[in-house]
């Protein structure tokens, strides 16, 4: 039990109130936020071919991505997608540092929206700090309650939209309106709403600093030619306040006037003047505010800027580097192979199982007959009428009868078909390999599978 003289083992981090700043990089971040959130909230409502354009239909085991439908057999594409995302992240990080964190990471994007709502309800940085320190009053309750209402509403809408990628969103809307959500739908809406509220509204920069693994291993992808947010220490030091009309050289000062605005605008609360830190998400808020200060003082902009360590130290920077070539080559190879595979992919699968009750049968005319069970999966979005044919090991056509005689498989469905394949009595004794092929009458789809045809041995 601690006494009043004991030092605290843990000090809760003080809340960061980022100062609002305008500038080219913050405008770019705002555009990225609007564009990415627009995609997230709009995509489930887009229709494609009579259904939701993007729908992960888990119960039916089908993933619809516009005109492409992926099945469990296509799990390899999910693996390739994850590999592609990792290689892209490595490549971009090696070239441009943590631009993903500053402009496109979901944590950054949603946190930025929550900060916008906080500024709209509570005012700018100084007003927020003043409100937090003020005693509770009707005005404070009104502002805090309005902010919480916006945060909770936005979080619920985010959770609702997320579930809308797994349950058709039009159907989900009707369920919400009629209060008839299933237990799992209700759970996941609340879960992702709570996650959005907790990460973007409550923890914010703590996620980036302590929970995100990317912040820890990013240094393995950095080198002295990686683009980072850097403070030009040679130009800025020694720092100190001065009048606007003062000549910094005569006062023995650098260009940094020690206004600390670069710290006030930082969403993770770091001082970029202390050098590159893993908490920096490369949002460039400090770049924009420092350029404004430099402009007001009549100094050249770029005291804090996107630069490489080599360029800041006066050395030449290099774009073409071994790791860039390695990541780029791997990424190009994976994307090219995946594109080729998807283009050559036939959305028709055939599985052949011989009748295990008898090896063969003698039918009318002395013909030898084998019976097979065909399991046909049509992974296309349209229905297709199919024909079955079989060839022996020499390529000669074999007689085929199917039940049903006309095979029509709807899009995204599986059809079981019985096939009887027969040959004359003078067939090669014993067994031989055959090839069973199915093809659509329009000639668009085909698939084939080897099988074994059995005949009596004298």
Q: What is the pLDDT of residues 268-279, one digit of tens each?
A: 999 999 988 888
Are residues 242 and 134 part of one domain? no
What is the model's pLDDT at position 9? 60
Full strand arrangement of the beta sheet holding 54-57 = 54-57, 62-65, 68-70
Residue 87 lies in a domain: yes
- Interatomic CA distance for residues 109 and 244, integer angstroms: 37
Are residues 165 and 95 part of one domain? yes
Residue 447 lies in a domain: yes
Are residues 47 and 67 part of one domain? yes
Residue 168 lies in a domain: yes
How many percent of the chain have pLDDT more than 70? 98
Written as six digits, the tokens of 208 are 């980036």
Residue 99 lies in a domain: yes
Residue 331 lies in a domain: no
What is the model's pLDDT at position 33? 96
Residues 323-341 pLDDT 10s:
899 999 999 999 999 888 8
CB 312 within 8 A of CB 230: yes
- Interatomic CA distance for residues 163 and 188, integer angstroms: 7
Are residues 215 and 237 part of one domain? no
Written as six digits, the tokens of 455 are 């005949």
Q: Which domain holds residue 443?
A: 348-455
Residue 17 lies in a domain: no
Are residues 208 and 235 part of one domain? no
Are residues 377 and 307 part of one domain? no
Query: How many C-beta atoms lie closer than 10 Å to residue 148's C-beta?
Result: 14
- Report the number of distinct structural domains present in the chain: 3
**For the CA atoms of the chain, what is the radius of gyration?**
33
- Interatomic CA distance for residues 151 and 162, integer angstroms: 16
**Nearest alpha-carbon partner for 281 in 32, 13, 14, 87:** 32
DSSP sequence for 250-308:
TTT--S-----HHHHT-TT---GGG---TT-----HHHHHHHHHHHHHTPPS-SEEEE-
Residue 322 lies in a domain: no
- Name the phi and psi angles at 266, rounded to 5: -70, 125
- Interatomic CA distance for residues 199 and 62, integer angstroms: 31
- Interatomic CA distance for residues 68 and 452, integer angstroms: 34
Are residues 193 and 123 part of one domain? yes
Characterise 61 by phi-psi region: left (phi > 0), alpha (psi -120 to 50), beta (else): left
Distances (CA, A) of 287 to 136, 181, 194: 37, 48, 33
What is the model's pLDDT at position 343? 80
Are residues 430 and 365 part of one domain? yes
Are residues 167 and 35 part of one domain? yes
Are residues 413 and 289 part of one domain? no
Query: Does the pLDDT at position 251 exceed 80?
Result: yes
Are residues 200 and 242 part of one domain? no
Q: How confident is the model at residue 144 (pLDDT cuts 50, 70, 90)?
A: very high
Query: What is the CATH number for 398?
Result: 2.60.40.10
Last residue of a domain, one of 176, 200, 219: 219
How many percent of the chain have pLDDT more than 90? 63
H/E run at residue 371: strand 368-378
Please tell me the pTM assigned to this model: 0.83
Are residues 198 and 81 part of one domain? yes
**Nearest alpha-carbon partner for 416 in 353, 345, 358:** 353
Q: What is the mean pLDDT of residues 63-77?
A: 83
Which of 119-123, 265-269, 425-429 is the least confident region? 425-429
Residue 53 lies in a domain: yes
């Amino acid at each position: 039990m601690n006494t009043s003289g004991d030092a605290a083992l843990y000090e809760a981090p003080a809340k960061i109130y980022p100062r609002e700043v305008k500038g080219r990089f913050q405008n770019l971040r705002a555009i990225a936020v609007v564009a990415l959130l627009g995609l997230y909230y709009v995509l489930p409502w887009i229709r494609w071919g009579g259904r939701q354009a993007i729908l992960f239909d888990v119960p039916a085991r089908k993933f619809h991505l516009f005109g492409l439908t992926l099945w469990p057999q296509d799990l390899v594409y999910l693996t390739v997608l994850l590999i592609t995302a990792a290689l892209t992240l490595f490549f971009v990080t090696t070239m441009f540092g943590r631009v993903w964190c500053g402009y496109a990471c979901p944590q950054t994007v949603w946190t930025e929206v929550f900060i916008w709502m906080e500024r709209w309800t509570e005012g700018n940085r100084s007003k927020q700090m003043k409100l937090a320190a003020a005693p509770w009053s009707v005005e404070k309750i009104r502002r805090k309650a309005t902010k919480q209402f916006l945060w909770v509403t936005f979080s619920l809408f985010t959770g609702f939209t997320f579930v809308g990628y797994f349950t058709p969103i039009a159907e989900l809307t009707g369920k919400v309106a009629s209060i008839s959500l299933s237990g799992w739908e209700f759970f996941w809406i609340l879960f992702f709403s709570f996650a959005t509220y907790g990460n973007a509204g409550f923890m914010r920069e703590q996620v980036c600093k302590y929970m995100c693994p990317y912040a820890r291993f990013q240094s393995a992808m950095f080198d002295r030619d990686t683009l980072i947010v850097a403070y030009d220490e040679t130009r800025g030091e020694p720092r100190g306040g001065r009048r606007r009309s003062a000549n910094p050289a005569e006062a023995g000062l650098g260009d940094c006037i020690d206004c600390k605005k670069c710290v006030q605008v930082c969403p993770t609360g770091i001082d970029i003047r202390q050098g590159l830190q893993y908490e920096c998400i490369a949002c460039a808020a400090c770049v924009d505010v420092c350029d404004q200060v430099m402009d007001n003082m009549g100094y050249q902009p770029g005291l804090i800027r996107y630069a490489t360590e080599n360029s800041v130290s006066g050395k030449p920077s290099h774009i073409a580097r071994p790791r860039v070539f390695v990541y780029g080559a791997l990424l190009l190879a994976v994307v090219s192979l995946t594109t080729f595979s998807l283009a050559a992919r036939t959305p028709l699968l055939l599985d052949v199982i011989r009748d295990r009750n008898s090896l063969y049968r003698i039918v009318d005319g002395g013909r030898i007959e084998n019976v097979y069970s065909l399991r046909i999966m049509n992974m296309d979005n349209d229905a297709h009428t199919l024909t079955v044919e079989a060839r022996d090991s020499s390529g000669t056509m074999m007689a085929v009868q199917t039940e049903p005689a006309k095979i029509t498989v709807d899009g995204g469905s599986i059809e079981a078909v019985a096939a009887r394949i027969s040959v004359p009595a003078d067939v090669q004794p014993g067994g031989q390999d055959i090839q069973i092929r199915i093809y659509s009458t329009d000639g668009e789809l085909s698939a084939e599978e080897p099988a074994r045809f059995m005949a009596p041995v004298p």
